[in-house]
Each structure stands twice: as structure tokens, then as C-alpha cells.
């Protein structure tokens, strides 16, 4: 079947969505070989002028989490808005798939929302978004992208006769009346999104708004913030999204401080191709942390079956509920949905094997993200493919395996200031880590220095196990 070509520029690949207001298509720019979204608005649409306004709102906005408008085309049937294609899934789809989000994730996403809205409210012509809802947010990696500006309104365009188009259950009450509109209507919208992330549903009535207090699994502080956002009277809400952000940030910082002593820290390890040394390096990470005195649990997040092989071939394997212990390192038994809690403040090392679109989202949510790469001629295609998925993320540590110093210095010239290291050769991942096999590397990337006395105690324990 021959594909349609529009405006001699775009090959239409498929219909992404069709609503009462517009049709949205995925297209490919013929010359640039890059994806675009084309939003078609029919001349017969009663909201034609409103929907067309989105293009003129977005053309003056430059923000990495807001889609860029590249072009506008018109013909006798309507207007075509050509925008940046954002790969990911809506917040609604993500919440429906994941179930109740953890408080930490809710706080992170809430802070991102505040940053986005604060940017809009602080422009030379302040802009109120009005229609915050889960369908208008796309989770791309660990970034929230805000789309669909059809309901947004500039502050200087507001009059007492202004009419607003917003979604019931998420829209601020004053949008339906004649009250003064300001940024507190977006504070209400953020509160409703926080409510949705916790409960999976909007709050459609004043009675159900109070349900957040009865939802288990969240702190009183977060519930109080949500209730403060969704007050019926705007004067009782946070005065600005900046003030809301300060409350969310303070709660997140407080929880991070508590996590250092009471909760698990997550280290994610992945690679660009098979047999690049991901599992070997993950065991080395566990080994170093164990030497430092940190309780560490390794979990296999791939289909290699390594833990079962270790269980069958190593002697003196200690088995406990949900874990085995080999050379002082705890390993979660395959099939466990949750990592067993060995001790407060334990570190969990996830081994994702090959990084792909399927596990990228989970990998990016870790506290520390470590990627093992190859740089030989026949490995570059794998590395380049994975790197293309990570261009927006600045907190990933890149570790090159199986290369000498000269090769490493050559390859980092193309890594654009990303944090890069070379893995030293060590055939035994359980060997004590010394200056000969990478102790300086682990000190730098894990921010931990081992204690000499502890090293000696570990050696004695290993001798006893043998």
C-alpha cells in the first residue's frame, strides 16, 4: 500500500489519535529522516480558532519538556500543525500500568511539573495552562513532557467574559465561574495530578477530594500538600507553583536523608550488547560495597539465569528466605517480585543485562545508573544505538570495557563531556578490590572509601566459609 505524502515533505506513517477536536498523525520528514507529529484541525470544527491558537502559543516557547512547533500548513479543508514527536507514554497509561506510584516518584514528577508551570508563569507574557490532566503529560524516559496547549491562555488576554475549556475532575472550580483567574488554577491542577498518581483516579467532587487522607502508603506531609493544592477557595491554596515546589522539594530532601539510614538505595547496571561484562561488573560493585560495610543485594533483571548457575556450581552457598549468599554477597532468588529486606539502608544492585526500550524506563528511575559499553569496531553499532536513547540524560555513568588506555582516550573524544571511565581487568569479580584492580574507580563512582579493618574481617570470614 502506497503511503501518503503531504506538502511534498512528510510521509504519513499512521494515525496516532482521533478525538472530537482534531486528528493526530505520525509522519516522517522525507529529507531529514526524522519523525514529526501532524495535528489536523478541520475548518468545520466549532473550536477551530481555539485549537489553531495552540500553534501560535507554542511558537514562542523554548523549553526541553515542551514540544517544538516546526511549521503550520493550511489548505481548503483545515490547518495542519507540525510538531516535535515525543516518544513515551502518557502519565495516565503509565499510572494504569504501574499501579500506585511510590511517594518518591510522585514527588519527583510533581517537582518537574512545578518547574514546567513556573516557566510558563514567568514568561514575559505569563501563560496559564488551565487544562492539566494525565492525558496531556508524556513520560519520556524520566522526564515529563507537557503537550496540548489548546486551552492555555495568556494573562493579558483574560477578561471577565473569558471562557475556558478544561477537563472535569482536574479543572479548578473558578474556571466555571466568574472569579479572577491566576496561577493558582494551575496549582489546583498539579494537586489533582498528584492525587491521580496516588489513587489512579481524578477527584470529581468535594467529597472524594478528602479520600486522599484514607489512602495508605503515603506520608501525612504529602497528603497535606495535596489537600492544600485542591482547596475550593483559591486564597487557601499555595500562592504560586514556586511555593508548592519548595514544599515538595523539602519533603523529598527529608526523605532522601532518611533513606540514607533507613531505606534502600538502587544502583542499576546495564550494557549495550551481550557479553560486554554487565553481570561481572555488577558483582564487582556488590563486592566493593560489601567491603565497605554496606549490606548489598544483587538482583537479576534479565534472563541469563546466572544466579541459578552460581547456586549450582559454588560450594558453601548459604541459603536464606528469598536470597542466597555467595562470598559474602546476597543474591535475590530468581522469581522474587521484591528484593528481600536484609537490613535497613541496604543497597540493591539491579543487573538489567542489555539496555533496551523495554527496560529503559525502570533503569532511569534508579538512584545511580551505570552503563557498560564496548568501543571496538564491531561493537560501535551497539553502543551508538543505546547512546541515541540517552542523549537527554546527564546522570548516567559510562564504563568502557576491554580496552587499553590509548583506545579509551580516543573514544572519550566523541562522548561529549559525559562521565566516562575505563574498567580495569579483573578475572575474578569476588576478588578483594585493590589499587591493582580498580579501587580508585569504585571510590570515585560510588563515593565510598573502604575501611582497612573491615577488609581484614571480610578475609577472615571468607577463610571460615571455605
H-assigned helices in 151-240 = 184-199, 206-209, 220-229
Cross-strand bridge partners of residue 89: 139
Neighbours of 133 (CB within 10 A): 22
Rounded to the nearest 10 degrees, the angle between the axes of helix 220-229 and helix 241-262 is 170
Strands (E), 148-295: 153-154, 265-271
Looking up cell 475532575 gives 169
CB 130 within 8 A of CB 164: yes
451 in a labelled binding site: no
C-alpha 337: how far from chain center: 21
Looking up cell 547456586 gives 311
CB 327 within 8 A of CB 378: no
**Dist CA 104 CA 102 (whole Å):** 5
Q: What is the CA radius of gyration of the chain?
A: 26
**CA distances, 346 to each of 65, 260, 295, 303, 366 (Å):** 34, 9, 5, 24, 14
**Dist CA 102 CA 377 (whole Å):** 42
CB 61 within 8 A of CB 121: no
Cell numbers at 196, concatenated: 491521580
Cell numbers at 405, concatenated: 588506555
List residues forming the annotated binding site: 39
Q: Which residues are annotated as a binding site for ATP?
A: 39
Amino acid at each position: 500500500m502506497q503511503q501518503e505524502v503531504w506538502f511534498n515533505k512528510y510521509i504519513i506513517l499512521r494515525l496516532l489519535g482521533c478525538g472530537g477536536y482534531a486528528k493526530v498523525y505520525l509522519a516522517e520528514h522525507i529529507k531529514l529522516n526524522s519523525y514529526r507529529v501532524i495535528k489536523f484541525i478541520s475548518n468545520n470544527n466549532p473550536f477551530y480558532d481555539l485549537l489553531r491558537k495552540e500553534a501560535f502559543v507554542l511558537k514562542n516557547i523554548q523549553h526541553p519538556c515542551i514540544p517544538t512547533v516546526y511549521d503550520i500548513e493550511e489548505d481548503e479543508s483545515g490547518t495542519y500543525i507540525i510538531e516535535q514527536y515525543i516518544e513515551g507514554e502518557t502519565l495516565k497509561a503509565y499510572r494504569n500500568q504501574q499501579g500506585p506510584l511510590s511517594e518518591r516518584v510522585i514527588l519527583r514528577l510533581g517537582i518537574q511539573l512545578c518547574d514546567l508551570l513556573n516557566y510558563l508563569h514567568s514568561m514575559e507574557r505569563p501563560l496559564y495552562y488551565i487544562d492539566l490532566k494525565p492525558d496531556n503529560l508524556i513520560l519520556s524516559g524520566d522526564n515529563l513532557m507537557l503537550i496540548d496547549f489548546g486551552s492555555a491562555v495568556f494573562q493579558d488576554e483574560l477578561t471577565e467574559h473569558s471562557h475556558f475549556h478544561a477537563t472535569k475532575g482536574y479543572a479548578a472550580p473558578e474556571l466555571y465561574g466568574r472569579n479572577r483567574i491566576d496561577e493558582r488554577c494551575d496549582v489546583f491542577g498539579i494537586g489533582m495530578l498528584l492525587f491521580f498518581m496516588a489513587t489512579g483516579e481524578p477527584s470529581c467532587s468535594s467529597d472524594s477530594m478528602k479520600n486522599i487522607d484514607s489512602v495508605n502508603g503515603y506520608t501525612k506531609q504529602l497528603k497535606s500538600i495535596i489537600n492544600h493544592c485542591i482547596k475550593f477557595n483559591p486564597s487557601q491554596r499555595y500562592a504560586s507553583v514556586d511555593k508548592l515546589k519548595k514544599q515538595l522539594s523539602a519533603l523529598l530532601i527529608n526523605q532522601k536523608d532518611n533513606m540514607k539510614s533507613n531505606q534502600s538505595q538502587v544502583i542499576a547496571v546495564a550494557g549495550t550488547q551481550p557479553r560486554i561484562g554487565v553481570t561481572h561488573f555488577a558483582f564487582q560493585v556488590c563486592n566493593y560495597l560489601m567491603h565497605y560495610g554496606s549490606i548489598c543485594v544483587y538482583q537479576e533483571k534479565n534472563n541469563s539465569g546466572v544466579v541459578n548457575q552460581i547456586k549450582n556450581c559454588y560450594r558453601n552457598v548459604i541459603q536464606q528466605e528469598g536470597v542466597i549468599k555467595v562470598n559474602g554477597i546476597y543474591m535475590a532468588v530468581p522469581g522474587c517480585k521484591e528484593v528481600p529486606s536484609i537490613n535497613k539502608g541496604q543497597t540493591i544492585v539491579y543487573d538489567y543485562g542489555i539496555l533496551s526500550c523495554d527496560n529503559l524506563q525502570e533503569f532511569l528511575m534508579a538512584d545511580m545508573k551505570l552503563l557498560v559499553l564496548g568501543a571496538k569496531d564491531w561493537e560501535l553499532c551497539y553502543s551508538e544505538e543505546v547512546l541515541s536513547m540517552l542523549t537527554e540524560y546527564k546522570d548516567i555513568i559510562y564504563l568502557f570495557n576491554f580496552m587499553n588506555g590509548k583506545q579509551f582516550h580516543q573514544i572519550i573524544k566523541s562522548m561529549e563531556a559525559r562521565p566516562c571511565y575505563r574498567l580495569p581487568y579483573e578475572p575474578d569479580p569476588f576478588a578483594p578490590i585493590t589499587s591493582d584492580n580498580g579501587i580508585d574507580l569504585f571510590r570515585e563512582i560510588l563515593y565510598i572509601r573502604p575501611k582497612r579493618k573491615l577488609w581484614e574481617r571480610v578475609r577472615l570470614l571468607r577463610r571460615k566459609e571455605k
